[in-house]
C-alpha cells in the first residue's frame, strides 16, 4: 500500500521537496487556502489584504463571482477544456467580444494570435515575428526592462541577475536608456537617434523596439506620453516595428484597457497575458497589424494555446470594459493612493522616498533595504505587498482594480503604519508639515 503523506501545519514539504527556485513563498511564508476579491486566507484562517494581485494576473480580484459562475456552467456542460488551436465556441465568443468591446471602439485593426499561455511566450512570438517580417536580427530594448524568462525574452530584459541565469550569451539585442534614465533634462530619444544615425555607432538597424509604457518589475518607471509619442515616431522614421509589452500594464492597470492609450500611439505588435484571462487562468495573446501577419501555419505553436476555460473567463471579464465607468473608477482609487503615498513621503522626509507610478500601479522608492523591510512588516500585519526594482528598492502597490474603498483604505493604513515602523527602526524622525 502507498503510504499517504500527512499535510503539515507549516511549510515543511515546500522546504524539503520544492526546488530552491521558489521565491514568493519566501516573501510571504504562509500556506494559503482561500481567496475572494482582494482578500486571501491562510490555513489558520488569518486574513490578508492582497496588494499584489498575482503580479498583475488578478486585476479583477480572486474568484470573481460572475466569471466563476460562467466557468462552472461551462465545466458542468462538458465544454471543451483543451483544444490546441482548433476552433471552439469558447474561442469564437472571446474573439467576437474582444473585437466588439476592445478593438472596434478604439479603431484598432489587429489580428489576434494565441501563443503559449504566458507573457514570455507572447514576447517570444512578437520578437520572432518582427525578425521575420523585417529580415533584421537586432531588437532594441530598454534599461530596467522586464519581458520574461525564456531566452529571447531574457535577451531584452535588463536585470543582471535574471540574465545571468541564461547560461548562454543573450544575443541580437541592444539595450538603450529608458525615459528618465539619464536624468530629467536629457531626452534619451535624442541619444538613441544619434546611434541610429551614426554609421560608426556599431549598431545595425533594429528590426523592432520593445517597450513597457510603465516598467513594473524594473522599479515603476513611467515613460512620459511625449517620450512614447517620440518613440513611436522614431520607429516609423527608421522602419523599426514598435512592440508594446502590455503583459503587466494591460487590462486596466494604468487606467485604460491598453496602457499605451494615454499616449495615443498605435503599436505594431502588442503582447498581453496575466489578466487577459480574467480569473488568473493561463492565457496570452499577441496582437499584430494585419499586414504583419506573415506567419506560416504552425510556425509558432504551443500545446496550451487553446485554454478554453480561460477564454470563458476572459470573455466575461470584458464586461468591465463595456463603458468607461471602470476606467473612471480606477482613476478615483489611483488618486486616493497617490494622496496617501505623497503624505507618507512628506511626513518622513529623512527616508528620501520618491512616489512613482500611475493608475493602480504606484509605489515609493526608498534607499536599498527599506522597501524589503516594509514588505515584511506588512505581511506580519496581514497585507501582501511586493517590492520591485533591481535592488528591491520600490514598494509596489498593485491591488486588484476591483478593490472597494474600504479594502483600499485598510491596506493603505497598514502600509502607512509599516513605513512609520521601518522609519523608526532606522531612527528617521517624523517631519511635521
Ligand atoms: N512582460 C512583462 C512586462 C512582465 O511583467 C512579465 C511578468 N512579470 C512578463 C513579460 C512575463 O510573463 P510570464 O511570467 O507570464 O512569462
The predicted structure's pLDDT at residue 1: 74
The residue to mutate among 142, 248, 259, having the most atoms of ligand 1 within 8 angstroms of its beta carbon, is: 248
pTM, two decimal places: 0.98
Query: Do 264 and 301 belong to one domain?
Result: yes
C-alpha cell of 148? 520574461
Asked whether residue 89 is domain-assigned, the answer is: yes
The values of phi and psi at residue 269, to 5°, are -135, 140
Annotate 181-204 with DSSP letters as a single string.
TT-TT--HHHHHHHHHH-TTSS-P
Query: Do 178 and 219 belong to one domain?
Result: yes
Pocket lined around ligand 1, Cβ cut-off 6 Å: 55, 118-120, 123, 146-148, 212, 216-217, 245, 247-248, 273
Query: Do 246 and 292 belong to one domain?
Result: yes
Average pLDDT, the chain: 97
Asked whether residue 96 is domain-assigned, the answer is: yes
Asked whether residue 123 is domain-assigned, the answer is: yes
DSSP 137: -
- Total domains in the chain come to 2
Domain's final residue, options 285, 303, 321 = 321
Where does the pLDDT of residue 322 fall: very low under 50, low under 70, confident under 90, or very high at 90 and above?
Answer: very high
Residue 432, pLDDT > 90, answer no
Asked whether residue 73 is domain-assigned, the answer is: yes
Query: Do 310 and 430 belong to one domain?
Result: no
Query: Do 220 and 343 belong to one domain?
Result: no
C-alpha cell of 209? 523596439
DSSP reduced 3-state for 4: coil
Query: Do 298 and 385 belong to one domain?
Result: no
Distance, in Å, from the CA atom of 325 to the CA atom of 215, rounded to the nearest integer, reads 26
Q: At 415, which CATH number?
A: 3.90.1150.10
Query: Do 136 and 263 belong to one domain?
Result: yes
Asked whether residue 1 is domain-assigned, the answer is: no
Asked whether residue 34 is domain-assigned, the answer is: no
Query: Do 168 and 271 belong to one domain?
Result: yes
Query: Do 257 and 137 belong to one domain?
Result: yes
Asked whether residue 59 is domain-assigned, the answer is: no
Q: What is the pLDDT of residues 155-206, one digit of tens each?
A: 999 999 999 999 999 999 999 999 999 999 999 999 999 999 999 999 999 9
Domain's final residue, options 321, 341, 358 = 321
Query: Do 366 and 253 belong to one domain?
Result: no
Query: Do 316 and 340 belong to one domain?
Result: no
Domain's final residue, options 321, 344, 377 = 321
* pLDDT > 90: percent of the chain: 96
C-alpha cell of 388? 520591485
Query: Do 170 and 296 belong to one domain?
Result: yes
Q: How far is the CA of 4 from the centre of ligand 1 (A)?
A: 37
DSSP reduced 3-state for 247: coil
Domain span including residue 107: 68-321
Residue 141 parent element (H or E): strand 139-142
The residue to mutate among 120, 215, 219, 396, having the most atoms of ligand 1 within 8 angstroms of its beta carbon, is: 120
- Is the torsion defined by CA of 278, 280, 284, 287 positive or negative? positive
Residue 363 parent element (H or E): strand 361-365
Amino acid at each position: 500500500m502507498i503510504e499517504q503523506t500527512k499535510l503539515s501545519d507549516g511549510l515543511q514539504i515546500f522546504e524539503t521537496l520544492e526546488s530552491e527556485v521558489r521565491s514568493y513563498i519566501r516573501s510571504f511564508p504562509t500556506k494559503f487556502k482561500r481567496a475572494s476579491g482582494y482578500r486571501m486566507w491562510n490555513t489558520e484562517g488569518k486574513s490578508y489584504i492582497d496588494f499584489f494581485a498575482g503580479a498583475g494576473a488578478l486585476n479583477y480580484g480572486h474568484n470573481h463571482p460572475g466569471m466563476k459562475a460562467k466557468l462552472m456552467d461551462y465545466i458542468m456542460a462538458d465544454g471543451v477544456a483543451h483544444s490546441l488551436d482548433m476552433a471552439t465556441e469558447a474561442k469564437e465568443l472571446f474573439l467576437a467580444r474582444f473585437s466588439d468591446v476592445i478593438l472596434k471602439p478604439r479603431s484598432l485593426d489587429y489580428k489576434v494570435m494565441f501563443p503559449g499561455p504566458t507573457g514570455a511566450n507572447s514576447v517570444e512570438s512578437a520578437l520572432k515575428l518582427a525578425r521575420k517580417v523585417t529580415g533584421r536580427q537586432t531588437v532594441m530594448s530598454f534599461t530596467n526592462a522586464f519581458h520574461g524568462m525564456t531566452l529571447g525574452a531574457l535577451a531584452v530584459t535588463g536585470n543582471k541577475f535574471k540574465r545571468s541565469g541564461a547560461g548562454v550569451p543573450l544575443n541580437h539585442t541592444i539595450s538603450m536608456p529608458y525615459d528618465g534614465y539619464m536624468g530629467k533634462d536629457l531626452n534619451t530619444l535624442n541619444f538613441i537617434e544619434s546611434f541610429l544615425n551614426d554609421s560608426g555607432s556599431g549598431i545595425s538597424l533594429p528590426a523592432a523596439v520593445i517597450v513597457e509604457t510603465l516598467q513594473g518589475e524594473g522599479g515603476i518607471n513611467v515613460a512620459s506620453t511625449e517620450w512614447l509619442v517620440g518613440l513611436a515616431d522614431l520607429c516609423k522614421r527608421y522602419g523599426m516595428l514598435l512592440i508594446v509589452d502590455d503583459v503587466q500594464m494591460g487590462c486596466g492597470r494604468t487606467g485604460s484597457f491598453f496602457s499605451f492609450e494615454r499616449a495615443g500611439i498605435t503599436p505594431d505588435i502588442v503582447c498581453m497575458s496575466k489578466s487577459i484571462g480574467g480569473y488568473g487562468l493561463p492565457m496570452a495573446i499577441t496582437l499584430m497589424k494585419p499586414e504583419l501577419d506573415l506567419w506560416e501555419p504552425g510556425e509558432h505553436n504551443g500545446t496550451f494555446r487553446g485554454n478554453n476555460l480561460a477564454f470563458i473567463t476572459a470573455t466575461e471579464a470584458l464586461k468591465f470594459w463595456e463603458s468607461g465607468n471602470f476606467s473612471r473608477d480606477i482613476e478615483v482609487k489611483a488618486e486616493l493612493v497617490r494622496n496617501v503615498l505623497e503624505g507618507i513621503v512628506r511626513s518622513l522626509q529623512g527616508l528620501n522616498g520618491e512616489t512613482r507610478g500611475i493608475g493602480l500601479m504606484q509605489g515609493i522608492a526608498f534607499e536599498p533595504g527599506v522597501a524589503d523591510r516594509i514588505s515584511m512588516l506588512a505581511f506580519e500585519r496581514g497585507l501582501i505587498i511586493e517590492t520591485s526594482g533591481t535592488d528591491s528598492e520600490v514598494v509596489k502597490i498593485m491591488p486588484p482594480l476591483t478593490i472597494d474603498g474600504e479594502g483600499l483604505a485598510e491596506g493603505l493604513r497598514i502600509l502607512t503604519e509599516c513605513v512609520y515602523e521601518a522609519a523608526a527602526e532606522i531612527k528617521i524622525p517624523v517631519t511635521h508639515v
